[in-house]
Amino acid sequence: MLGFLAWLDDTQLSHWVAETTWVYPTLETMHTIGMALLIGSLGLIDLRVLGYKPELPVVETQRLLPLAWLGFTLNAFSGTLLFVSDSVMFYSSYTFRIKIALIILGGINAALLGHKVFQPSASGAAPSPRRAVRSGSRARRWCSGSPRSSRAV
Phi, psi of 123 (to 5 degrees): -80, -5
| 30 in Cβ contact with 78 (< 8 Å) | yes
Q: Which of 20-24, 70-74, 114-118 has the lowest mean pLDDT?
A: 114-118
Distance separating alpha carbons of residues 73 and 67, to the nearest angstrom: 10
Domain count, the chain: 1
Q: Are 37 and 70 in contact (CB under 8 A)?
A: yes
Mean pLDDT of 136-140: 53
pLDDT reading at 139 higher than 60: no
Convert the pLDDT of each residue in 98-131 to its tens digit. Answer: 998 988 888 888 777 777 777 665 545 545 555 5
pLDDT digits (tens, 9 = 90+) for 123-134: 455 455 555 555
Average pLDDT over residues 5-20: 87
Distances from the Cα of 151 to the Cαs of 45, 97, 98, 145, 148, in angstroms?
A: 28, 21, 18, 10, 5
Q: What is the pTM of this model?
A: 0.71
C-beta separation of 82 from 31 below 8 A = yes
pLDDT at 47 over 50: yes
d(CA 93, CA 35) in angstroms, rounded, equals 21
Look up the domain containing 55 and give its range.
2-152
Q: At what angle do helices 129-152 and 94-118 cross, to 10 degrees?
A: 160
Name the residue among 32, 27, 107, 34 with its Cα closest to residue 72: 34
